[in-house]
Each structure stands twice: as C-alpha cells, then as structure tokens.
Amino acid sequence: METLRVLVTDDELGMRLSMARALRDYVVFLPDVNDDVRFTVEQAETGEEALEFIRRQPPDILLLDHKMPGISGLEVLDHVADMNLHMLTIMITAYASIETAVLATRRGADEFLPKPFTPGELRNALQRTAARLLLARRARLLAEEKRQVRFEFIRVLGHELKAPLSAVTGYFDLIRERRLGEDLPAYDEVLARCAIRVDGMRKLIHDLLDLTRIESGLKHRELAPVDMREVVRSAIDAVLPLAEPRGITVEPCEGEPLILPADVGELEMICNNLLSNAVKYNRDGGGVRATLERDEGRIVLTVSDTGIGMEPESLARIFDEFVRIKNSDTAHVDGTGLGLPIVRKLAQLYGGRVGAESEPGRGTTITVVLDAQAPAEVPAGTP
C-alpha cells in the first residue's frame, strides 16, 4: 500500500472540503505498479500558501485551482517548475476551455480537471496521476540502482587493475635497488612473476572487452554449423600443458560429433574458460572430465574436476563479475574474475543457462546448457 500526499489548493472552502471528502476513503489498485494506493489530503487557500507549503514539504500531487485571488494557478506552476520536484500537478480549470488546458500543460501541469467535476472524475484523475507518479518513481529507483551497480563495477575494476601494477612496480623497485644482490639470475623468479602479472592484466583487459562487446550487442558474430565435440577437444588440448606438470589427468571427450549453429569463437571461449578453471582450481594429481550430450533440442556440457571445490556461499557468487574465491587454496591461482560471467553471458546468447555444484575438497561441476537450434540475435543492451 502506497500513501500519496495530495495538496488541494482552492480559494473556495466548499471545493476543498468536497475534494478532501472524495479522497478520504479512496483506495485504488494500480495494475501498472501492482499496488494499492491511498491519499492523504492537505489544503491551501491561496497560491502563496500553496507555494509556502510546497517549499516546506512538497506533496506528491498538487491539485491546483486555476483562478484564485492573489497569484493564479499558472503562476504557481511557474514557481514550481523552478523547484525541480518530482511532484505532479492536476490543474482545475473553471471552464472546459482548451486554451487554458493547453496553456497549463505547457507550463508544467500533468493533468487537468474541468469544473464542475464529480467525485468519480476527481478520483479518476488522481488514479491516472498516481500511476504516472509511481511508475516514474520506480524508473528513477531502477536508474539509481543501475548507476550504483556501474559504480561498484568500476570501483572493483580499478582495484583489479591496480593490484598487478602494484605487484610489478614493487618487483621493479626491488630490482632497481638490487635488493637481491648483483647477480642477474637471482632475479629470474622475480622477472617471471612480473611477466605473469602483466599477462594477467592483459587477459583482464581482453576479458573485459569481450564482456562489454557481448553485453552491448556489438559483438561480431558469424553463425555456422560447429561441432561442439571438436571445440571441447581443442580446449582439452589447450590445457594439457598446464595439467601435465601437476599430474592432473584430463579425460578425452569421446563421442559422436554434436553440430549446432553457432559462432565458433563463442563456443571456444566457453570451453576454454571451463577447462582452464577445472585445471587451475584442481589439486595436484587430480582429474578433469568434460562430457557432452544432446538432450532433445539442447546440448549439455558438463565439466567436472576433483579440485579444491568451494563452500555453498562461495558457489552462489561465482557467476558474478570479479568474484574470486580467496583462501589459501586459491591464493596462487591467477584469474581475472570474469571467466564465468563471460560463460554465463555467452550461454544466454544460445538461449541457454549455466549451473554449478561443488563440495569443498571434493571438486566442482559446471553445467552449460545450450539451445542447439539457431541462436537468437544478440539482444542489444541486455545487462
């Protein structure tokens, strides 16, 4: 239930009282905002009094008589226009003159009500105005929320970009000050770490651009029949050099070709991300298994590892941007925090979805379901 404050401004006491009476017990359901709304009524006798009232505590809706002694309704509108309020105004005109209505609308009235009017007509005008007001209010809230999300994204991004810079600059200072002595080989590990952090930063920028392109709908897509099985196999080949030194076994992905119309680059991004995670977050000597099957019109990819796994509260956040689960198991794992958000966004392009299961110390399974029919066009501006 929303309660809206209405200020009735009319020089005739009878008018004010009858309007107050008409709205006193009026409750109306507004389907647009899926909520009930009721009104509380306050009164002003003149334009001056109304302005004073509005300055002190702006109402949600102003019911404003056009003709009053002292300043007129139109003049009140002019003053109100300068105040930058979210208040809506219903202008009451003494006669149903188009000219007055047009003039009032031009000067900022949102609705007008010709005298004489019935309580029903008054309520209808209030109902329409309330719906507009509440819709606008929700739009503002949504815009503010979006602004906050964007701000938070930039804040975290700033941190993620600054961390590798700090690390590399720290190493440079260490080298410049010859902190490890005069022998060059003493610095090999330091230089290798610099290279890793710079690579990580490059990857972050690439991922960020990918994510932005997917979200903006500006990503260039070439749709052609693609064998998903082949893409998974290539992704497996790509992670073997990371897996073998750590004794991690990656099972081959056996089976028939699974053809779907797709952009091959997008499928590669999905598979590479999942397989590289399965290796990175594994334990030494662990295993990785990728399976692919057709389920009616859909293709289901699951990538399981026998890795470090994670707690349910971490699992709930892994598809969010820049979430990297930090603990002593993951401290030495490099990542951008954008891999899984990219996978999720890509899956959505194929009418698909992603899911995850995990158990700490036992491993994680990520499931991606893709629609094997022709994928939808990239929806522009989807969040």
Partner 1 sequence: MAKILVVDDDPDITFAVSLYLRKEGYEVQSSASRAEGMKAIASYKPDLLILDVMMEQPDDGIAMAQELRRTGQQLPIVMLTSVGKVTGMHFDKDSDLVPVDAFFEKPVRPEELLRKLQELLQKRGA
Judged by CB, which is closer to partner 1: 20, or 323?
323
CB within 8 Å of 326: residues ≥ 6 apart:
none
Stretch that binds partner 1, among 76-84, 210-218, 327-335, 354-362 (CB under 8 A): 327-335
Query: Contact with partner 1 (CB under 8 A): which of 328, 380, 381, 383?
Result: 328
Give min distance, CB of 331 to partner 1, in A.
4
Closest by Cα among 89, 100, 85 to 132: 89
**What number of chain residues touch partner 1 (CB under 8 A)?**
26
- Does residue 162 bind partner 1 (CB under 8 A)? yes
Judged by CB, which is closer to partner 1: 155, or 362?
155
Site for partner 1 in 252-271 (CB under 8 A): none
Judged by CB, which is closer to partner 1: 47, or 164?
164
Calpha distance 193→208 (Å, rounded): 22
Give min distance, CB of 285 to partner 1, in A.
22
Site for partner 1 in 128-157 (CB under 8 A): 155
Judged by CB, which is closer to partner 1: 206, or 326?
326
If phi over 0 gives left and psi between -120 and 50 gives alpha, with beta otherwise, what is residue 291?
beta
Q: Which residues is 298 bridged to in the sheet?
A: 295, 371
Alpha helix stretches (DSSP H) within the chain: 13-24, 47-56, 73-81, 98-106, 119-176, 188-216, 228-243, 264-280, 312-315, 339-349
Question: What angle do helix axes 339-349 and 188-216 make, rounded to 10 degrees?
Answer: 30
Q: Which residues is 2 bridged to in the sheet?
A: 37
Element (H, E) at 302: strand 298-305
Query: Contact with partner 1 (CB under 8 A): which of 331, 380, 381, 383?
Result: 331
> What is the DSSP-derived secondary structure letter of residue 322?
T
Question: What angle do helix axes 228-243 and 264-280 make, rounded to 10 degrees?
Answer: 30
Stretch that binds partner 1, among 6-14, 162-170, 235-243, 361-369 (CB under 8 A): 162-170
Binding string to partner 1 for residues 169 to 198, with x set by CB under 8 A, is what?
xxx-xx--x-xxx--------x--x---x-
Interaction site with partner 1 (CB under 8 A): 155, 158-159, 162-163, 165-171, 173-174, 177, 179-181, 190, 193, 197, 326-328, 331-332
